[in-house]
Amino acid sequence: MVDYYEILQVSPHAEPEIIEAAYKRLALKYHPDTNPTPSATTQMKWINEAYAILSDPAQRANYDDERRAYRTHAAPRAEAPAPAPTPANPKPIPRSRPKLRRLRACTSLLLVLAIAAAAMWALQQYNMFRISDYIPPISLDSVPNLRPDFLYPPTPTPVPPAAD
């Protein structure tokens, strides 16, 4: 028995609008005027026949009944072969590779930083970008909290004389 749903590439529960859209799509693809292959004519005949039956609600209901009856009374299928026995120690399933993902992320970040640095260098070469316009120079003397203690040892505080 010919499966018209398979010909139109739709589900047996498809709405009429979906069947019509599938027919139009396949008609554009296999119409003999647009498709020069020799099998296009026969495919278009099957597509037209499938659409003629599935677009009419009465014919579709009749076809669905025949299809259901054919599937229930069809010859039983041959049994599938038994699956192969699994080995005693199966191979472990490979895990995802977090190290590789991390490496790719770091590589991407380094690439972005390198491109940004190259762009800044190129702009600076043509005096279109000066970093001093955006970040003012900082001297260690201008901010007392940033002075390193090993360069400037703390001054001892004088101890007041003891009162007698």
In this prediction, residues 134-146 reach a mean pLDDT of 60
Instruction: State the chain's mean pLDDT as an integer.
Output: 78
The pLDDT, as a whole number, for residue 154 is 63
The pLDDT, as a whole number, for residue 36 is 85
- The answer, yes or no, to whether residue 23 has pLDDT greater than 90, is yes
The pLDDT, as a whole number, for residue 20 is 93
SS3 for 117-130, per residue? HHHHHHHHHCCCCC
The pLDDT, as a whole number, for residue 131 is 64
More confident residue, 103 or 100: 103
The pLDDT, as a whole number, for residue 127 is 67
Cβ partners under 8 Å of residue 108, min gap 6: none
* 162 vs 164: CA distance, rounded Å: 6
Cβ partners under 8 Å of residue 130, min gap 6: 124
Q: Report helix angle 39-55 to 16-30, nearest 10.
A: 170
The pLDDT, as a whole number, for residue 51 is 94
As a whole-number percent, the residues of the chain with pLDDT over 70 amount to 66
The pLDDT, as a whole number, for residue 150 is 55
Q: What are the tokens at 39?
A: 């099998």
Q: What are the tokens at 160?
A: 């007041």
pLDDT tens digits, one per residue of 48-101: 999 999 999 999 999 999 988 888 876 555 555 656 565 566 566 556 566 777
- The answer, yes or no, to whether residue 112 has pLDDT greater than 60, is yes
The pLDDT, as a whole number, for residue 104 is 81
* 89 vs 161: CA distance, rounded Å: 86
Q: Which range has the worst mean pLDDT, 13-17, 55-59, 124-128, 130-134?
A: 130-134
As a whole-number percent, the residues of the chain with pLDDT over 90 amount to 23
